[in-house]
Amino acid sequence: MLLSAPQPTAHNGGIISSLLGATTEHPYVTQVDTILGGEPIIKGTRTPVRAIAEHWKFGDTPEETARKLPHLHLAQIQSLVWQMAFGQATD
The domain limits of the chain are 2-86
Which CATH code for domain 2-86? 1.10.10.10
Q: What is the pTM of this model?
A: 0.67
Share of the chain above pLDDT 90, in %: 56
Q: What is the pLDDT of residues 14-31, one digit of tens each?
A: 545 555 544 457 888 999
For position 2, what pLDDT does the model report?
40
Predicted confidence (pLDDT) at residue 90 exceeds the cutoff of 70 = no
Give the pLDDT band (50/70/90) at residue 79. very high
The full 3-state SS of the chain, as one line of letters, equals CEEECCCCCCCCCCHHHHHHCCEEECCCEECCCCCHHHCCEECCCCCEHHHHHHHHHCCCCHHHHHHHCCCCCHHHHHHHHHHHHHCCCCC
